Chains A and B, each alone.
Chain A
Amino acid sequence: MIGVFVNGKFDPEQTRYAQGLIQRRDIENLRGLGSRFLEQWANNNGKAILNELFGERQVNLELADAGGYATGSASAAAIPAINAGGLALAGHGAGVLKSAWESLSDGYSGKKSHMFGENGTQTTSKTTWKNGKTERIDDENPSPGKRPEEIHYHEPNNKKWRFDIDSGIFVDPKTKIPAPPKIKKKLKDKNILTGIRKGLDVLGE
């Protein structure tokens, strides 16, 4: 678990964003958090966690050169605190805060400033991964630019779960309630992740 603190205050929005990046294995935007963020995270959880996320070769290469990650956005002073429960990314003072959050807010607002799938192919529903008769990942982008695109995991019993881009988890499409653990675990399945990735490609994301 990662908790993001700004001026000592827990920031749920940025926390959700950071957790979403990790769950989605959004390597590009995770790098945007800065090398120190990654190092601190690795110190807290062991470097194996970075290996798991980025792949061993890549991590080893890039940790050898801190500049390999997008740096300059988070200063050392911005990331001093670690709490018992996990990493706390903290900012002190407006100047540091601004620089610390530059890449975060760029990434965040970058996702929010445009409608998801607005540049994608119009598709009523496109299956990007399938297992057996009915289990699958579907992309839906019936009105690019007018309504946000969607990615669904379809259970064998016909129950659908929507992939929530902001939080990086599956949620009930009717209620937005997070999916139970057995469905959350699906995000660890490489085939399902590939299906989601393909969907994002189809949708121009």
Chain B
Amino acid sequence: MIEVLNAKMQIIDKKAKLYMNNTITFSLKNLDKLFNIKIQNIFDCILIMDDEEIDLNENQFFEVIKMYGDKTGYEASNNELRIIDYIDNKEVSKENQYLIGKSFIINLSTRISKRVAFYFSFDDDILII
């Protein structure tokens, strides 16, 4: 896995190493949802699913793609995820979100046969993948 970190993310990355022994509380349900998250291949797009799989024919798929401009936009938008949505205690530091996020993408990468780019950013103190 190749990592590219800007200056701010480098600071978080460095600090996060000090948090490795922290305890975070997950319900088993949320833990399962995050690390066994459902994925579906739709016309060569890999999508993270909320729950049930979707069924689109080719025409419907291209109608949907129009909303996003292209397949990459469709994938990026629908795969946006926030770690805090899966943590029962919402008061989780940036560094801890970052560490969980990294575990999440490593786990997800092993389930996808393609090369995947993951993008991390923070909205205030909330990690968005």
**Cross-chain contact A134 with B68 (CB below 8 angstroms):** no
Given A134-B85, A174-B78, verify A148-B67 contact (CB < 8 Å). yes
Complex formed: what's the CA distance from A90 to B54 in Å? 39
B56 interfacial by beta-carbon distance below 8 Å:
yes
Residues from 142 to 183 in A contacting B, C-beta threshold 8 Å: 142-143, 146-148, 150, 158-160, 162, 164, 173-176
Given A140-B80, A158-B85, residue A176 in contact with residue B64 (CB < 8 A): yes
Binary CB contact string for chain B from 69 to 93 against chain A (1 if under 8 A, 0 otherwise): 1101100111010101100001000
CB proximity of B27 to chain A, nearest CB, Å: 13
**Of the residues B54, B90, B121, contact of A125 by C-beta under 8 Å:** B121
| B69 and A147 contacting across the interface, CB-CB below 8 Å | yes
| A9 contacts the other chain (CB 8 A) | no
B50: Cβ under 8 A from any A Cβ: yes
On chain A, the residues within 8 Å of B84 by CB distance are 133-134
Cross-interface CB contact of A124 among B56, B124, B128, cutoff 8 Å: B128
Asked whether B54 lies within 8 Å of A162 as measured between CB atoms, the reply is no
Q: A133-B90, A175-B64, A176-B67 are in contact. Are A147 and B73 (CB under 8 A)?
A: yes
| Chain B minimum-CB-distance residue to A139 | B123
Question: What residues on A are CB-neighbors of B64 within 8 Å?
Answer: 174-176
The majority secondary structure among interface residues of chain B is: mixed
Interface residues of B in 84-129 (CB under 8 A from A): 84-85, 90, 119, 121, 123-124, 126, 128
Q: How many residues of B contact A (CB 8 A)?
A: 28
Given contacts A140-B80, A158-B50, A158-B85, contact A148 B68 (CB under 8 A): yes
Specify which chain B residues have a CB less than 8 angstroms from the CB of A175 in the assembled complex.
54, 56, 60, 64
Which residues from 104 to 143 on chain A have a C-beta closer than 8 Å to any C-beta of chain B? 115, 123-127, 133-134, 140, 142-143
Q: Which 4 A-B pairs have the closest CB atoms?
A: A124-B121, A147-B73, A147-B69, A125-B128
A/B interface sample: 24 pairs, CB < 8 A: A115-B69, A123-B123, A124-B119, A124-B121, A124-B123, A125-B80, A125-B82, A125-B121, A125-B128, A127-B124, A133-B84, A133-B90, A142-B119, A147-B69, A148-B73, A158-B85, A162-B77, A164-B67, A174-B42, A174-B54, A175-B54, A175-B56, A176-B60, A176-B63
List A residues at the B interface (Cβ < 8 Å).
115, 123-127, 133-134, 140, 142-143, 146-148, 150, 158-160, 162, 164, 173-176
